[in-house]
Chains A and B, each alone.
Chain A
Amino acid sequence: MTRYSIASLVRNAVGGHRHWPRAWRSPNPRRSYDVVVIGGGGHGLATAYYLAKEHGIRDVAVLEKGWIGGGNTGRNTTIVRSNYHLDPNAHFYELSLKLWERLSQELNFNVMYSARGVLNLVHSPADVDAAMRRGNAMRLNGIDAQFLTREEIARRIPNLDCSSRARFPILGGLLQPRGGTVRHDAVAWGYARAADALGVDIIERCEVTGIDIERGAVTGVRTTRGDIATRRVGVAVAGNSSRVAAMAGVRLPIESHVLQAMVSEPLKPVLDTVVTSGAVHFYISQSDKGELVMGGDLDFYNSYAQRGNLPAVENVVAACLALFPSFGRLRMMRSWGGIMDMTMDGSPIIGKLPVGGLTMTGGWCYGGFKATPASGWVHAWTIARDAAHPLNAAFTLERFAEGRTLDEKGAGPVPWAH
């Protein structure tokens, strides 16, 4: 692997940038692997990378039905944060944020982590109490949190309507200064390149069509590019987790729903932080290209279509204009949809499935992107040790039957059909 540096940049600039080597190989699948990871998004690539890096397991294939990062990794709104209340979520997402903070150095690939802060607006006295309670819980867990008054918010974000005449008057907000954004494509490419350099085979255009099981344990996977023998399979296909688990005869507490996001035309810098509001369910930030990136609620019906309908788009835009009236003259440039694994308690499922050698990381609801590094890290641990790490011990599939659901307000809503 060519190490990216100022020297390599200058060298290639002299050559007119025509001689950069491929960032990762394009191998044909072999007949067998020690571990097969299904899904070449951020979570699957991170799983493969940490298997090779942390556990020395390099005989790994990542199977991707489309292309690297072409699914939900490239469809989110790039926000990262760890502002959770319950301990299992807080510790897990805080590991993720710590990994984000040094990921560019770790991967030798600029993922453009920008600690621009994530601000949750509050609009009622009850919201204020809940935000302070969550902020205190975060600080007790060693996570940065700061309550801002309406005056402080008005000073920091001048185009936010903080007046008492606003449709949803702003009473304050909970800020996580280390939260921010990360360039999502670079995450997939960076993990792919680093995993490939450690010997992982990344196989694109290779769809898994079946999972072979003998005496209750995995023996291989069937794909559109041939059968592959393996004793360990990690599933990282959020949005389609139910379909892949069904290949192994496992039913999951998940519904697939479409979530839309959209961007405006690019404009000069107007918003230097991430602003979210739970009351109107809306989040917005400005990309490095200048587009305003925004999203809101699900369309609220089962879907695998990767596109939604206009009422959800209208809700997002209406929420945007209620908070930022000055954006009213902007034109929206494009919108898109991604398919979410909506679990029945709003928290993910990371761990062993009831088939020998089969594990999954999924069930991310609205929030999979920010979890990418920690998801791969604990998933790799679970595959390598055949046991959960303390940080994913609470995210079992069995928690639903055992009455240990992690239902947390502020962790992302739960599906309608609860």
Chain B
Amino acid sequence: MMLIPCPYCGPRNQVEFTYGGDATLRRPAVDAPPSSWIDYVYLRDNACGPHDELWYHGAGCRSWFKLRRDTRTHDIIASAAAGEPLDGARP
């Protein structure tokens, strides 16, 4: 089981959360060329190792936040509010 550290509620069981995918994607400007949109919508780095990702605490505070998690081991490295930087500090 993963114990996920919500930045607002503290460590909670993974079943309270929903995964939201890669947190490093940035929506292109409205007038950006189609290739930027194709990259944004479809392409992923799909990191093997530390991965910055979005999670939603649906059964708790109902907030979105960021988590840095190792995809090889499921170890959780850091968490931060959605607008804050993931600076690598332990949660």
Query: Of A309, A400, A417, which is within 8 A of B2 by CB?
Result: A309
Instruction: Report if A310 contacts B (CB, 8 A).
Output: yes
The residue on B at minimum CB distance from A253 is B42
Instruction: Report if A302 contacts B (CB, 8 A).
Output: yes
A242 proximity list for chain B (CB < 8 A): 44-46, 48
Query: Of A246, A303, A415, A416, which is within 8 A of B71 by CB?
Result: A303
A311 proximity list for chain B (CB < 8 A): 1, 14-15
Instruction: Report if A304 contacts B (CB, 8 A).
Output: yes
Query: Of B14, B34, B45, B48, which is within 8 A of A251 by CB?
Result: B45
Instruction: Report if B74 contacts A (CB, 8 A).
Output: yes
- Please judge, given known A-B contacts A301-B53, A302-B53, A304-B71, whether A417 and B46 are in contact too, CB under 8 Å: no
A416 B21 Cβ-Cβ under 8 A: yes
**Number of residues of chain A lying within 8 A (CB) of chain B:** 25
Instruction: Report if B8 contacts A (CB, 8 A).
Output: no
Instruction: Report if B38 contacts A (CB, 8 A).
Output: yes
- Please judge, given known A-B contacts A304-B48, A400-B38, whether A310 and B43 are in contact too, CB under 8 Å: no
A300 B19 Cβ-Cβ under 8 A: yes
Instruction: Report if B11 contacts A (CB, 8 A).
Output: no
- Please judge, given known A-B contacts A253-B44, A311-B1, whether A305 and B74 are in contact too, CB under 8 Å: yes
B44 A251 Cβ-Cβ under 8 A: yes
A303 proximity list for chain B (CB < 8 A): 71, 74
Q: Which residues of B contact A (CB under 8 A)?
A: 1-2, 14-15, 18-22, 34-35, 38-39, 41-48, 51, 53, 69, 71-74
Q: Which residues of A contact B (CB under 8 A)?
A: 240, 242-243, 246, 251-256, 300-305, 309-311, 344, 400-401, 415-417
What are 23 A-B pairs with beta-carbon distances under 8 A?
A: A242-B44, A242-B45, A243-B46, A253-B43, A253-B44, A254-B44, A254-B46, A301-B53, A302-B21, A302-B22, A302-B47, A302-B53, A303-B71, A303-B74, A304-B48, A304-B71, A305-B71, A305-B72, A309-B1, A344-B41, A401-B38, A416-B21, A417-B22
